[in-house]
Structure 1
């Protein structure tokens, strides 16, 4: 009998039994009041009258009325450039010890997002909540003695002007508690290797030395790592190396597009648990096995607002119009995409994080990530969100019994007429034209606006098949392999031209 595992599992179950479900609306009111009080004497808090807002009988309404929403560039230009320069008490008391580097999915130049000690503590508490939720997943006691492979970015943070910089996964891993170090793999030495390919090679070389029970990381990069380990040891699946692997925790990316290709690397299914850790904070985690939706963390340093994701509120470049109305948690509905806006203990105020979400259960505050605001394709009225694109591709996968884990597309013009050109990462034997017809029909059947556009201004759909690994090489060339890097799903015509040149040169070589 696994004595240590049984003790840990019993403690987790007891903690879960003693914990009561938070009232999410009340929790959010407390979080907002705490944020406003703590930041009231900062430069930001003084400008926007936080002390007066705190005296209001309608704090949430007045907060939304008095404080504009910001994207990264607006917040940087007006405030964060001073924080980065080392000034104190600008958007949060003191100055942050860390900055999370994030190029997101749209640009080469890294954003620098403040990460305060308050945020480090909030992320730690959120991690504990996630561990406590494992008691709901009927895992054996032996699982709690196994090691955890956390495949993030390098933990070798860069010192710059008195603070440390790196991706949020690297910052989080560099702050793991001492008692967890024995469970954490690949360990500090390998995790500090900056070059992705070298780091994965070292993981492959050491893989048989570890008894991995859980994996954590972005699906696309996790697949590449697992395949490398499998190839290095010349085995058929990862369970021949890690027979006790039982859990995979994905992060910040919908797992559904990768499910079929991921499962091919396994000897048998494992428990998949979704989490939502962004550069701006730990936003949500999957609490129960009956659903793949995640529960917003409403009592832990992040205040949430939501803007209905509708064309009249979105600019052509995917940014949010300043007069777009926001709502709070008690007014959200299911079956509606929302742009997520957050205010946090890192001095992030009414910040447009760039993701869209939908609620699957309002009372439980459970959500799914549905896409990115900048990946909303509305040229000539087609109104395609990433969620709709993914749903159509899952139908195509079923029809042709294949996997399509990666894709990108753009609205291009041929002789002055708009077309959608899709690049699909797949090994299917179906030809490009057949795939284009099937994809086009799936989108027509499911989306009224798309069907109307196809009968008018959207003249055609083109598909080009490419090897899946090209997407990873593109991400590596554009930004950096591994970590929080995610593939852009919708490209501008200019970026798409670069992509097509890259694909052509890569295949010819």
Structure 2
């Protein structure tokens, strides 16, 4: 009989009640006020006269007028390089102890993003908010006294120029409060293992001694880990190893393409809860069972602005035009794609995180990630977002009763000068590439009027290649990106296309 579970659940329910945000507009106004006040005496704050913004009757509007948009390159070149050389009080008071390494899915080299103690506090608070919100879901009380496994990056952080450097999940895990360590798996020893395969092997070896009720991680890598655990024990369901497993906290990529393959691993219902943790901070998490949308963390260490996602505001490199308008929480509308802009307690200011979102419920500040500014196929006016791509792939799965967990796509001219979208679908289906092509093309035309118009003009069509689903993980490993927060690029950049085609040709499985 569970004794601690009901007590823990009741305590979390109280926490949820007292930390719940009713007015997200007011919460964001307070966050902006706090950010400006804390940073007014930094080099950045003095340069953009934060004191005058604070004295203004409309600080949000004056802030937007005074401070330009930044992407990583402009923020790093003008400001963060000074921090990396040891200068204090540049974009945030003091000097951060950590740098988050983010290779992401674009860019040729890793980004190094400052992580302050205030940001770690904000991430911890958001994580506690997420756990306490699980009381809103239909879960047995005993779940709350079991163990949780997080498959993130290594907590064995590098020392670089006086900073501790690692991926944000590893940095956050290395700062888990002591009172939670007894419930956290795989534990500090295994979490410090840098080699992903070795870490997963150790997890499989130790898994029989754990009573896991909650798991978290990026779907592609977590699925591989679960299969490794099942193979180690010679079972057909992960519930044969962890019968208490009831919650999977997903994140990093859309879960839906993985649903069918995950359901094959489960023999009991598992509640899927979505989260949005980026190298720049904990952005949002699902907090209600009646929706699969995520609620922005509007009272934490991040101030949000929203630029309408229109081609005229997007530069060729995926950055934002400086004349693009930015909206506040009070101005956004439902079902409109926005480029997400953030200012944070780590000293990122009007920073283009690279993601596009749409509000599903403005009053609840609930969103869906709709894509990336760089993962946006606008060749010959097709204006195809990642969300539209993922929905089309989901329709393929349903139409042909198959699984397509990963895909990548790019646009290019053939030898005759005609434009095509080249799709690579990770699937074991026996459905022909021709049938997949026709269904995919039809789905995209029905879902996107701009794509339909482009198909009558310069965009000649779609070409589909079926590939082994494991090739995407192999490609990432080939690119020296494996495990942790690594994600496959949904749209391949020009400089990667030839290498990808060669890799596909030579791939042996």
Normalising by structure 2, we get a TM-score of 0.98
Q: Counterpart in 2 of 1:499?
A: 500
**Matched residues in 2 for 1:456 and 1:316: separation?**
22
Q: Deviations over 1:147-197 (max 9, x none)?
A: 111000000001112110000000000000001001111111111111111
Q: Counterpart in 2 of 1:475?
A: 476
1:2-401 aligned at under 5 Å gives the runs 2-401=2-401
1:435-474 aligned at under 5 Å gives the runs 435-474=436-475
1:15, distance to aligned residue in structure 2 (A): 2.9
**Matched residues in 2 for 1:344 and 1:21: separation?**
19
Q: Deviations over 1:283-332 (max 9, x none)?
A: 11111100000111111110000001111111233222121111101111
**Matched residues in 2 for 1:479 and 1:44: separation?**
35
1:487, distance to aligned residue in structure 2 (A): 0.8
Q: Deviations over 1:405-443 (max 9, x none)?
A: 100011021121111110000111011111111100101
Change (3 A) 1:20 1:259: closer
**Matched residues in 2 for 1:450 and 1:457: separation?**
11
**Matched residues in 2 for 1:15 and 1:379: separation?**
49
CA contact (8 A) 2:2 2:142 kept: yes
Q: Find out whether 1:422 has 2:415 as its counterpart.
A: no
Q: Find out whether 1:412 has 2:397 as its counterpart.
A: no
**Matched residues in 1 for 2:55 and 2:233: separation?**
64
Q: Deviations over 1:255-294 (max 9, x none)?
A: 1121111111111330001111110001111111000001
**Matched residues in 2 for 1:421 and 1:8: separation?**
51
CA contact (8 A) 1:411 1:492 kept: no
**Matched residues in 1 for 2:283 and 2:10: separation?**
27
Counterpart secondary structure, 2:127: helix
List gaps (5 residues or longer) in structure 2.
none
CA contact (8 A) 1:103 1:479 kept: no
Counterpart secondary structure, 1:389: helix
**Matched residues in 1 for 2:318 and 2:262: separation?**
31
1:479, distance to aligned residue in structure 2 (A): 3.7
- RMSD across aligned positions (CA): 1.1
CA contact (8 A) 1:418 1:460 kept: yes
List gaps (5 residues or longer) in structure 1.
none
Counterpart secondary structure, 1:149: strand
**Matched residues in 2 for 1:303 and 1:436: separation?**
42
Q: Which moved more, 1:177-186 or 1:232-241?
A: 232-241
**Matched residues in 1 for 2:442 and 2:355: separation?**
27
**Matched residues in 2 for 1:447 and 1:168: separation?**
35
Change (3 A) 1:438 1:350: same
Q: Deviations over 1:424-466 (max 9, x none)?
A: 0011101111111110010111111111111110012110011
1:18, distance to aligned residue in structure 2 (A): 4.4
CA contact (8 A) 1:404 1:426 kept: yes
CA contact (8 A) 1:356 1:373 kept: yes
**Matched residues in 2 for 1:227 and 1:20: separation?**
37
Count of matched residue positions in the alignment of Structure 1 and Structure 2: 508
**Matched residues in 1 for 2:19 and 2:195: separation?**
42
Q: Which moved more, 1:280-289 or 1:15-24?
A: 15-24
**Matched residues in 2 for 1:19 and 1:419: separation?**
50
1:20, distance to aligned residue in structure 2 (A): 5.0
**Matched residues in 1 for 2:100 and 2:480: separation?**
15
**Matched residues in 1 for 2:350 and 2:165: separation?**
23
Normalising by structure 1, we get a TM-score of 0.98
Counterpart secondary structure, 2:182: coil
**Matched residues in 2 for 1:250 and 1:65: separation?**
37
**Matched residues in 1 for 2:148 and 2:244: separation?**
11
**Matched residues in 2 for 1:15 and 1:106: separation?**
38
Q: Deviations over 1:24-69 (max 9, x none)?
A: 1111111111111111111111111101111111100000000001
Poorly superposed stretches of 4+, deviation over 4 Å: none
Change (3 A) 1:303 1:18: closer
